[in-house]
Each structure stands twice: as C-alpha cells, then as structure tokens.
Amino acid sequence: MKLNFFVSILFLLLLSNCGARKHVAHKKNSGVIVSEPKPKKIPSVNEDKITRKLGKKNPRLNKETLAYIRTYAPMAVNEMHLYKIPASITLAQGILESGKGKSELALKSKNHFGIKCHSQWRGERVYHDDDEKGECFRKYKYVATSYNDHSLFLSQRKRYAFLFDYNIRNYKKWAYGLRKAGYATDRKYPSKLLKIIEDYHLYEFDNLKKRSYTKKLKALDNIKTEKVPLLKNSGNSYKVKKGDTLYSISKKYSISVQNLKVLNNLTDNTISLGQYLIVQE
C-alpha cells in the first residue's frame, strides 16, 4: 500500500517537472508576407569621429554603448531623414530597449525596440516575458528592418501623431512625448532617454542636414530614398494600380484622403504605380 502511494507521488512530481520545462517559443506564421530586402549601404554620419572624441574626453563612458552608436548611428540618421524622427531619440531608444544590442530579443530576433506583435503583424514572432508572461514580439531578419519598423510604428499610429508637430531637434519634448503617448510604462523612461542622449551627445546626429546627407546617399550605388512599407499584400494595405488616385482609394476603403496621407506619411497627393499604401490601422 505504502509502495503504491510513493510511486503515485513520484509520478506526480515527474509530471509537474515536465510541465515546468517550457522554452521560449519561436513561431512562424503560415504565409509570412513581410518583405525584408537585404539592407542597402548607407553613408557614414561621422559616427567614428564623434565616438572617438567622446571616449577620449570621458573614459568612463560605456564602451558597449559607444560601439552601438558607431554601428547604428547611420541607420538612425537615415530613418530621421525619411520619417522626421530625431536620430538621437531613435538611437537612445535602441540602446535602452536592446540593452546596447545585447538583450536576448536583440540578439536572437534583431528586435532593438521591444516592438510587440499587435494585430497587424504578419511576420515571424517570438515570445518573451515582459509586462506579462509569454508576450508576443516581432522577429526580424535584419536589424535595419527593426529600425525601419520603429519609424513606421511611430509614424503610422494616431496616438503618436502629435510628436511630429515638435521640432526635430527638440529631443526633450520627444522623450516626454513618447511616455505620454504610451510607448513605455516606466515613469522614468523620458529621463533615461535624456541621460543617454546627453551623456553620449546623440543630439549631434540631429544636426546633420538632409541635403548633404542625400547627396552622399545618392553617391552610394544610386540608392533611392523612398519609404517602403514593411507589410505587403496584407489586409491593411493596397497596391496602387493604373488609374488610381488617393481620392478613389479613400472611397474604396472608406477613409479620408487626409488620413491616408497621415498613415503613409505622404506630403502631397502623389502616388505611383505599384506603390503599397496602408489603408487601415
């Protein structure tokens, strides 16, 4: 009788241990429709000179942070000129959210901004514990895609729209604005961003003029600076066909022309054949 009792207890313990050994899941959607072209070469933005100067002036600065800036400052500046988000903010968020590029999410999933899946995401996904257990995060093939998706995330959501009324060099307003819009739950999020920006002089990257940068960009294999939506052929996007206008598309999807322009970061009514437009949030 006692033997049966101990065998039953042992079986239950083994069963509970098996249930506890859960690994972080890496799932892939059926029919993944995220377009991730291989990143194109982009010009230097004096990142080596700026970080070397900083390192010499203040040897106590974190070397991993300086290395992160050297690697990703060009991406941040490129996104700034495409989407009007201060490069200092993008870099500071990347440093903070990715643990200087060393977090598990950054290393395994190339996700440098902690962007969660949300209902629109059609790409690969991974699950990590964050505010809650087993939350869904976006997974990318390239870090450059993560940077571009960060720009799209901010520029295509109404709750962040007021940020784009701020001066692109006013990183302080942007830092507090991100917290106000709900990007992070941490009350100290703005002060953490500002410390990174000011300690590492990231505001210097906000001062790089678009005209001179574009000349450098065009000199590198004739790269065309155009905005390419990350999601293609999904339920919330539309491929422009011959004869389409913003007005005809707005009628088709019951959305105003103005909202179409905001969603796609358009400055005028010009659209081109084959272009992908976001038609709903």
Residues 223-241 pLDDT 10s: 444 454 554 445 567 788 8
Question: What distance in Å separates the CA atoms of residue 66 and residue 59, rounded to the nearest whole number?
Answer: 11
- The predicted structure's pLDDT at residue 39: 85
- Fold match, 47-219 / 237-278: no
State the DSSP H helix or E strand holding residue 128, giving kind and residue range, or none if neither: strand 125-128
Q: Measured between alpha carbons, how far is residue 224 from residues 40, 55, 215, 273 in Å?
A: 10, 34, 11, 16
CATH architecture of 47-219: Orthogonal Bundle (1.10)
Residue environment code for 196-209, b if the CB has 16+ CB neighbours within 10 A, otherwise e = bbeebbbbbbbebe
Angle (deg, nearest 10), helices 87-98 and 189-199: 110
- The predicted structure's pLDDT at residue 12: 45
Question: What distance in Å separates the CA atoms of residue 231 and residue 140, rounded to the nearest whole number?
Answer: 13
Could you tell me which CATH number the domain at 237-278 has? 3.10.350.10
State the DSSP H helix or E strand holding residue 174, giving kind and residue range, or none if neither: helix 171-181
Q: Measured between alpha carbons, how far is residue 207 from residues 79, 134, 265, 275 in Å?
A: 14, 40, 22, 31
- The predicted structure's pLDDT at residue 188: 97
Question: What distance in Å separates the CA atoms of residue 74 and residue 77, rounded to the nearest whole number?
Answer: 5
pLDDT < 50 stretches in the chain: 1-3, 5-7, 9-33, 223-226, 228, 231-233
Picking from 228, 41, 29, the residue whose alpha carbon sits closest to that of residue 119 is: 29
Angle (deg, nearest 10), helices 63-83 and 47-57: 140
- The predicted structure's pLDDT at residue 181: 96
- The predicted structure's pLDDT at residue 258: 80
User: Could you state, in order of their start, the residue ranges of all structural domains in the chain?
Assistant: 47-219, 237-278
Residues 19-63 pLDDT 10s: 333 334 444 443 344 567 788 888 889 999 999 999 999 999 999
Model-level pTM?
A: 0.69
Largest CA distance in the chain: 86
- The predicted structure's pLDDT at residue 134: 74
- The predicted structure's pLDDT at residue 269: 78
Whether the CB-CB separation of 45 and 74 falls below 8 Å is answered with yes
- The predicted structure's pLDDT at residue 273: 74
